Structure 1
Amino acid sequence: MTAFKIPLRQYVGLLRHYLRSQRSSIMGLAVLLVAGLAMQLVNPQLIRYFIDSAQQAETNEALWIAAALFIGVSLLQQLVTVAATYISENVGWIATNKLRGDVAEHCLRLDMTFHKSHTTGSIIERVDGDINALANFFSNFVITLASNLLLVVGILILLFREGWIVGAGMSVFVVLAIYAIQYIRKFAIPHWGKLRQISADFYGFLSEHLEGTEDTRANGASDFVMHKFFSLLRVWLPVRIRAFLGWAAMWITTLVVFAIGNAVAFALSAYLWRNGSITIGTVYMIFYYTELMAKPIEKIRTQMEDLQKADASIVRIRQLLDTEPAIRDGAGTPLPAGPLPVTLDDVTFAYESGKATLDGIDFRLEPGQVLGLLGRTGSGKTTLARLMLRFYDPQSGVIRLGDVPIRDAKLYDLRRRVGMVTQSIEIFQGTVRDNLTFYDSAISDERIVRVLGELGLDSWFRSLPDGLDSKLESGGGGLSAGEAQLLAFARVFLTDPGLVILDEASSRLDPATEQRLEAAVTKLLHGRTCIIIAHRLATVQRADCILILDNGRIAEFGNRETLAADPESRFSRMLEVGMEEVLA
């Protein structure tokens, strides 16, 4: 078995980056921990003084002083512990939340290839589960480890003051204890990494199938899903057992080490007391220090346990953060204002180096024109739309909006100027305003209401109890398919794009809603370029040009009226026999 090898500089780099803004809290925590350490070293001295005074003093004054000091120091130590715990938890949560935000933002920047190859659950497990495992690493790992090591050193120094035999004996015990704990640790580390990976796989599977519950039930696949569920649990259990046994081995090793330490302390104290070298109070102090030494060694053990969990989590988080998006942001060439002309110059694209989905696509769409994009399922229509938004980049060829290659534009600018409406609508849990603007405060409420009115949603809007502050359910619960589709249109037009892509956008609408939408779209598309991906002829009646794809190649491209009048054209045959028949 091999342990994870994480360079020290990666630990230091993480701590420096995510704790930099909390220097004052870290310094305060360090002061509190050192103060607590000093009080832990003082208390055994007070107890020795109390016991020896009880045997020798003729009055109780010394006993009262010793007792008062002991109680006062103990209470102050508890207050210091509470304050240190509060600060360390704050430090840990602030640091991990910042890291969680960075990882989530990085995932959002990654391209569709990454998201298609990772389930939602596995990504959530990395963003949340792995980072939660680092909470203690960020909160007090270095300071607590250092303070516990200082406590052990302080105890050994005080024991050496009582006699070199006691100091040397306990020093040997400490060295052997730390070596034993470190030795047993390496057998547990690999299992924590496997455990976190299996956990991510399990929650990814669970998330995927919970989202598709309706399809699973409708197709009678519940038994298969449950079989897979229990199969993953069967794989998970032995790894969980091995990880637990690794933890148990460290715990048992610690108990055995502490028992040996007590035996050594007992033997040395008995020998020195019999020789008259130490008092009864000193004997108790040695035992107290031995028991006290168990705490920092135990803490060091748990810190090592946290470190082995952090090892696995840091590896996985580092791998995720090191994953570079295939889609690089452009240099920032601005896109032209107004309706965007579209040019594709010999564009070829294939998913995962397979057969080309688009092969040598060449066409130009003039500004303000509407293109009807037709073709069989799998011909590359939706892929073409994804390339326009740079969800993917073609392997060869250039896509231009105006005279600007889209690779040269900033992704943010590109996706503000190109709007897309699909038949699959995502409604998020939140207000109507947030669902329409995606938290863009620059979009005024008046403009939102105006667009809703233009889309024929004014009566629906007036029925909302809190207007734009009304809450929508995740997944669009409480909305009809038509209402959800119209809200998707509203989202796009609020960004005022120069190019609009409608990918089967009216396929879920009833005839009455579709008719209402057609009138609204006519108005809203004025002064914009548009690409309409459709399976129905009625949808492309507004098109100026028709582009028909067949197996990733352009089968036909031209003016709609010209193609319709040409009896030899594919589009003309579609009009004669029905597009559904031709594309079947």
Structure 2
Amino acid sequence: MENLAVKKVFNVSLLRRIFTFAVPYRRSFYMSMFLTVLLAVISPMRPYLIQLTVDKYIAGQLMEMLIGVTVIQILLLLIETVMRFYFSYLTNWLGQSVVKDLRVAVYKRIVHLNLAFFDITPIGTLTTRTINDIEAINDVFSEGLISIVADMLMIIAILGVMFLADWRLTLISLSPFPILIVATYVFKESVNKSFYKVRNAVSALNAFVQEHLTGVAIVQAFSAEKREFAKFKTINKEHRTANVEAIFAYSVFFPIVEIILAISLGLMVWWGANQVLNYEVSQGVMIAFIMYLNMLFRPLRMLADKFNTLQMGMVASERVFRIMDSEDHIDDSGTKDASAMKGAITFDHVWFAYKDADYVLKDINFHASQGETIAIVGHTGSGKTTIISILNRLYEIQKGRILMDGTDLKDYSLRSLRSKIGVVLQDVFLFAGSVYENITLRNTGITREQVEQAARLIGMHEFIMQLPGGYDYQVMERGSTLSLGQRQLISFVRALLYDPAILILDEATSSVDTESETLIQHAIDKLIADRTSIVIAHRLSTISKASKIIVLDKGEIREMGTHEELLKLGGFYYKLHSMQFKQAGVA
């Protein structure tokens, strides 16, 4: 599990990269910055007008001027309210627009990463990156940098006006500020640490919940609910503790700010009252200063929190950009079109390792001519499934070459290559949606008639029509409402519909009932006709008619030949066959 370490360095280059996503919305960004300047100028005007009203128009009993300045104040308040609304809306709109674009870019990157990345990265962590972390980047715009700039400009403007009005009264009023600075720093550091703990806890929760909901059947089957629930409670408690620490910091900091504000007001009134009595400070200035102090403390109260928000947004962006910068992707620089592919396959001294030099495939050499059926057998872990994974370029090989029709796989574009390879796995994954959507994978270029024709060809149409709603029957997540055999038959229709030149069947008849196996075998016969096929099977009886059988053991080819040739050889395949025959006899 990836954990965040507390960082104190303000990464300018990272912030600059975040703002590159705002380039398409530069007008909105510039407008929001323009509004920050206007608001900084307008905000101190109202207290000044009140000062003017008290000292000149009320004291001089100039009623006509008093009405006029009151109307101006109301208009100014309305203008400021509208500008603040527009500023808030604009910064949030900008943040959400950037989040939308960034989420698209991250998701696009994730779906193009190779499977090696997913082997070591929990899905729940990627969910956190795509949703929670990117949402935190929105705060960089709505509550982060732009808002901080606006608050800083307002503080500078108010302080400037205060010093111009009476520098001595200003210094007296701001004398408790060192206490506020210390309190703000302590608050910032405390909340910063808490926020890091919260982000780590959220990531851990997402990963745990996603993993255990996916594997809930295993948890229940082994009566592990109490143990797993205890783990969940521990992670959830860590999440709560981190949030409570942040809440405690807020609960302490904000009352301290209010106390400091009260002290500042008290000092101002104490010193200012004497000056008023001595006619050195006007009553209007005193009233205006009360407003100035309230306006000054409002942004100061939130500034430390906004700095933390900005920093957490940058931390989130760092984690998101780490995914975007990941080198765990398949090179898609090939340009050759595979639409005319015939299906001849050649493995030329292929070596492959999932990690470093721990090779799971060692010097694999074989050739499959167009239309041939190649079967691959071997014990679990011998490398059978790995062969089809590298054939699809889900992983990159370290040594050797894989050729399709005499052309290196890397010379084909990935999209073109994979469109000509149909895969039917043992564990078929179906998405939540209709049967029709699962067959077409939401390809709008495929018609209902084409789907029905493909289903009829392999004898699947009648079964689908028996479902409530037929092709519109809603399949639950992972196809849980269908049997394994039914899910495999749907995947056969999908494979046939895309008319691949090469068909890969990964133990497609294992773990199904006899009736389903008969239907599946019929579907296989239809599918492999005139196609190059690679069949992986534990049941040797299902591959006896293969053109060539490859026997794998610990990543190496031990034997190769037809069913009869390998039996006569009396070697590894003969032993596997005899073992299964004895087991079948016992059964």
TM-score normalised to the size of structure 2? 0.89
Tell me whether 327-336 or 542-551 shows the greater mean CA deviation: 327-336
Partner-residue secondary structure (3-state), 1:360:
strand
2:535 matches 1:522 = no
Spell out, residue by residue over 1:287-331, the C-alpha distance to the aligned partner (whole angstroms, 9 max, x if none). 111111112222423321212322331232232223221533343
Query: Which of 64, 77, 83 is the equivalent residue of 1:80?
Result: 83
For residues 431 and 79 of structure 1, do their structure 2 counterparts lie closer, same or farther at Cα, with a shift above 3 Å needed?
farther
Q: Distance in 2 between matches of 1:268 and 1:541?
A: 103
In structure 2, the partner of 1:12 is 16
Does the 8 Å CA contact 1:92/1:140 hold for their aligned counterparts? no
What does 1:45-84 correspond to in 2, within 5 Å? 45-52=48-55, 55-58=58-61, 60-84=63-87
Quote the residue 1:558 is aligned against: 561
Pairing partner for 2:119 from 116, 120, 124: 116
Q: Does structure 2 retain, via aligned residues, the 8 Å contact 1:371–1:545?
A: yes
The CA deviation at 1:581 is: 4.6
Query: Which residue, out of 401, 405, 410, partners 2:408?
Result: 405
Q: Which amino acid aligns with 1:352?
A: K
- Give the structure 2 partner of residue 210 of structure 1: 213
User: Among residues 500, 504, 519, which one is paired with 1:501 in the alignment?
Assistant: 504
2:307 counterpart of 1:304: yes
Structure 1: distance between partners of 2:198 and 2:320 = 15
Gap change, CA 1:234 and 1:331, over 3 Å in 2: same
Determine the structure 2 residue equivalent to 1:3: 7
How does 1:266-285 map onto structure 2 within 5 Å?
A: 266-285=269-288
Q: Is the 8 A contact 1:374 1:533 kept in 2?
A: yes
**Count of matched residue pairs:** 581
Moved more, 101-110 or 506-515: 506-515
Letter in 2 for 1:123: L
Unaligned runs of 5+ in 1: none
**Aligned mates of 1:338, 1:526 — CA distance in 2:** 16
Instruction: Give the Cα separation in 2 of the matches to 1:339 and 1:253.
Output: 77
**Distance (whole Å) between structure 2 residues aligned to residue 135 and residue 47 of structure 1:** 38
Note if contact 2:507-2:535 (Cα within 8 Å) is conserved in structure 1. yes
1:575 & 1:536 partners in 2: Cα distance? 9
| Superposition map of 1:139-178 within 5 A | 139=142, 141-168=144-171, 177=180
Q: Do structure 1's residue 295 and structure 2's residue 304 form an aligned pair?
A: no
SS in 2 for 1:133: helix
Deviations 1:384-433 (A, max 9, x none): 22121222223322222222222333322222222211111211122434
> Deviation digits for residues 333-364 of structure 1, max 9, x if unmatched?
44472431111122233333475322222111
* CA deviation string 1:150-170 (max 9, x = no partner): 211221222233123235556
Q: Does 1:200 align with 2:203?
A: yes
2:498 and 2:31 map into 1 onto residues whose CA distance is: 48
Gaps of 5+ in 2: none
The two structures, once aligned, show a CA RMSD in angstroms of: 3.0
Instruction: Return the alpha-carbon distance in structure 1 between the equivalents of residues 50 and 264 of structure 2.
Output: 21
Instruction: Say if 1:373 and 1:381, in contact at 8 Å, map to a contact too.
Output: yes
Find the partner of 2:226 among 223, 226, 237.
223
Give the share of equivalent positions with the same residue, in percent. Answer: 25
Query: Given the alignment of the two structures, is residue 25 of structure 1 paired with residue 28 of structure 2, yes or no?
Result: yes
Give the Cα separation in 2 of the matches to 1:579 and 1:384.
Answer: 27
Q: Distance in 2 between matches of 1:578 and 1:298?
A: 76
Alignment of 1:462-477 (within 5 A): 462-463=465-466, 470-477=473-480
Q: Which moved more, 1:181-190 or 1:406-415?
A: 181-190
| Secondary structure class of the residue paired with 2:335 | coil
Decide whether aligned partners of structure 1 residues 261 and 409 sit closer, same or farther in structure 2, where only a CA change above 3 A counts: farther
Rounded to whole Å, the distance in 2 between the matches of 1:550 and 1:184 is 62
Cα pair 2:509 2:521 within 8 Å, conserved: no
Cα distance 1:140–1:186, how it changes in 2: closer, same or farther (>3 A)? closer
Contact 1:456–1:517 under 8 Å retained in 2: no
CA apart distance, 1:568:
2.6
Kindly provide the CA deviation profile for residues 9-28 of structure 1, in whole angstroms up to 9, marking residues without a partner as x: 2202211x221122232334
Superposed displacement of residue 243, structure 1: 4.3
User: 2:371 matched to 1:368?
Assistant: yes
Letter in 1 for 2:477: S
Alpha-carbon distance, 1:247 to partner: 4.9
- SS in structure 1 at match of 2:280: coil
Letter aligned with residue 9 of structure 1: S
2:440 aligned to which of 417, 420, 437: 437
Asked if the contact 1:96/1:135 (under 8 Å) is kept, the reply is yes
TM-score by length of 1: 0.90
Alignment match, 1:578: 580
**C-alpha separation in 1, matches of 2:579 and 2:435:** 43
Letter in 1 for 2:8: F
Aligned equivalents of 1:272 and 1:324: distance in 2? Answer: 70
Deviations 1:226-264 (A, max 9, x none): 232233345445544444455556545544543444344
